[in-house]
Amino acid sequence: MAQLFDFGLVGLGVMGRNFLLNVADHHFSAIGLDTDAQKVADLKDEGHSDDIEGTLDKVEFIKKLSRPRKIMLLVPAGGPVDHVIADLLPLLDSGDLIIDGGNSHFEDTNRRFTSLKSKDIHFMGAGVSGGSEGARKGPSIMPGGDLKAYEIIKPIFEAVAAKVNNEPCVDFMGQGSAGNYVKMIHNGIEYALMQLMGESYDIMKLGLQQDNHRLKKTYYDWNQGVLQSFLVEITSQIFDKKDDLTSGDLVDQILDKAKQKGTGKWTSQNAMDLGIAIPTIDAAVSMRQISGMKDIRMKASKKYTEASLLPTNEPSVEEVRDALYFAFIMSYAQGMDQLSRASKEYQYDLNLESIAKIWRGGCIIRARFLEDIRLAYENDSSLESLLLSPVIVEKVNSVIGATRKVVQYTVAKGIPTLALSNALSYFDAFKSAELPLNLIQAQRDLFGSHTYERKDRLGIFHADWN
Ligand code: 6PG
């Protein structure tokens, strides 16, 4: 009898090919399907083993999978996912499992989950993070769907995932679309961290006059301490890269317009729907939009030339580091708070400790700080907000002074820090027992009889403002 494969993968782009090779490295046989003959050939070139096969033929692909079939899709989110599902569905048998490993919108996952369930096909949305290198060497995987389906794929996912302290960076996230939801929040945090790093770069380049050589060293040093993380590490590497086309450094030749595929924006949109504030993530999304307005920015830069900027005290490199750490904490806290709210709203029953745990390795936002987050939820699984955990309070208190100094400096110097200054204002609002929004309530009541509540007694009130 012909060999049956343990795992099938649809979409042999770099991510798909690497994931499949990773599966095969862990002694599971794997077959890939793509409509592009070159991609199938690339897989065969790289994977010289009886345990790896590639095909252009969906019927052959399905026939060669052991049952229940375990099929993962790594194709672009949106239409292509629906298209592949519709294509494979007539060939599948009851109890087979389809896993969407792309960045699908969680509402699309809900729709697919319900529709496939009615056909007795298991469906999982699994966030996969770590880029193409992660897919090859060990990503962080965030699967959601139903637990029975997860049990089918668990041995493979646990084998291929990144490991931290010998523990795999994968766990069942929760019902329905929980996996895609958690990955969406991961990406929202990713946007914030990247934007904050961009701002720290600006402060050190424009303010502290660090050249690329010095910047490389600064980020390298930062990566040895509390900021230790994948993003800080690669940033140091970026400043070391020479340009192939000119005599300078590559980073200086890259156009300052950042693109996006949508997951950061979805995070912000969903936070608005849930009524939860994640302004630092919102700021990161807005900054990508502002970066796209290059022509207008260039015109405006000629019209607004401030003659004299305010005198101010220059922060030290260590103070910039501390401010970045502060804002990193705010970004993770906002993301975790959104997860906590969504868990109730969508009945995901998320385990925030487990999420922090599987984000410690493999994924783009992996960082030493995630161990503190894990600890905070281990100590109190029903934390109302990450910022209320004693583990975190102590860390924030240690860097708040430096953050104020850095923000004051950027304001005086006119260095844009939409995310950093916003992280500080978010924090100041978060810790204010009194906010001036009593005035808003008064205004609403005056112009629209919208009523207000009082501090000194219960009930709903309306005043005769005339
Ligand atoms: C990951 C990343 C990845 C994401 C890219 C690009 O975890 O591996 O989050 O899934 O697609 O980072 O995202 P943008 O194009 O939106 O910046």
Q: What DSSP letter does each residue of 67-135 carry, written as one string?
A: SS-EEEE-S-TTHHHHHHHHHHGGG--TT-EEEE-S---HHHHHHHHHHHHTTT-EEEEEEEESHHHHH
For the Cβ of 103 lying below 6 angstroms from any atom of ligand 1, the answer is: yes
Give, for ligand 1, the residue of 189, 364, 366 to mutate: max count of ligand atoms closer than 8 Å to Cβ: 364
For the Cβ of 129 lying below 6 angstroms from any atom of ligand 1, the answer is: yes
For the Cβ of 364 lying below 6 angstroms from any atom of ligand 1, the answer is: yes
Cross-strand partners of 122 = 97
- Which H or E run includes 168? strand 167-168
The residue whose CA is least distant from atom 14 of ligand 1 is: 260
Single-letter code of the amino acid located at 355: I
Distance 14 CA to ligand 1 centre (A): 14
For the Cβ of 132 lying below 6 angstroms from any atom of ligand 1, the answer is: no
Cross-strand partners of 99 = 72, 124
Token couple for 304? 């607004």
CA distance 51 to 196: 44
Q: What are phi and psi of 167, to 5 degrees?
A: -100, 135
- Which H or E run includes 398? helix 390-413
Give, for ligand 1, the residue of 185, 190, 363 to mutate: max count of ligand atoms closer than 8 Å to Cβ: 190
Query: For residue 172, how far is the Cα from the chain centroid?
Result: 18
Token couple for 217? 């060293």
For the Cβ of 130 lying below 6 angstroms from any atom of ligand 1, the answer is: yes
Atom of ligand 1 nearest to the CA of 363: 7
Farthest CA pair distance, the chain? 90
CA distance 253 to 184: 31
Distance 225 CA to ligand 1 centre (A): 25
Domains and CATH numbers, the chain: 7-176 (3.40.50.720), 184-430 (1.10.1040.10), 435-466 (1.20.5.320)
Angle, CA of 195, 198 and 200, to the nearest 5°: 115
Give, for ligand 1, the residue of 18, 75, 103 to mutate: max count of ligand atoms closer than 8 Å to Cβ: 103
Q: What are phi and psi of 52, to 5 degrees?
A: -125, 135
Atom of ligand 1 nearest to the CA of 191: 17
Distance 233 CA to ligand 1 centre (A): 17
Of 314, 329, 334, the C-alpha closest to 415 is: 314
Distance 166 CA to ligand 1 centre (A): 26
CA distance 237 to 212: 10
Query: For residue 81, how far is the Cα from the chain centroid?
Result: 21
Q: Is 311 helix (H, G, I), strand (E, B) or coil?
A: coil
Q: Which residues are catalytic?
A: 183, 190
For the Cβ of 260 lying below 6 angstroms from any atom of ligand 1, the answer is: yes
- Would you state the pLDDT for residue 1? 59
CA distance 100 to 75: 8
For the Cβ of 164 lying below 6 angstroms from any atom of ligand 1, the answer is: no
Cross-strand partners of 228 = none
**Contact (CB, 8 A) for 37 and 56:** yes
Give me the long-range contacts of 22-26 (CB less than 8 A, separation at least 24): 22/135, 22/136, 22/137, 22/138, 22/160, 23/156, 23/159, 23/160, 24/49, 24/51, 24/52, 25/160, 26/156, 26/159, 26/160
- Would you state the pLDDT for residue 134? 97
Note the pTM of the prediction, 2 decimals.
0.97
Render each residue's pLDDT in the chain as its tens digit; 466 residues: 578 999 999 999 999 999 999 999 999 999 999 999 999 999 998 877 889 999 999 999 999 999 999 999 999 999 999 999 999 999 999 999 999 999 999 999 999 999 999 999 999 999 999 999 999 999 999 999 999 999 999 999 999 999 999 999 999 999 999 999 999 999 999 999 999 999 999 999 999 999 999 999 999 999 999 999 999 999 999 999 999 999 999 999 999 999 999 999 999 999 999 999 999 999 999 999 999 999 999 999 999 987 667 888 999 999 999 999 999 999 999 999 999 999 999 999 999 999 999 999 999 999 999 999 999 999 999 999 999 999 999 999 999 999 999 999 999 999 999 999 999 999 999 999 999 999 999 999 999 999 999 999 999 999 999 9
Distance 191 CA to ligand 1 centre (A): 9
Q: Sign (positive/negative) of CA torsion 99, 105, 110, 115? A: negative
Token couple for 86? 């519709």
- Would you state the pLDDT for residue 305? 87
Distance 207 CA to ligand 1 centre (A): 30
Query: For residue 55, how far is the Cα from the chain centroid?
Result: 33
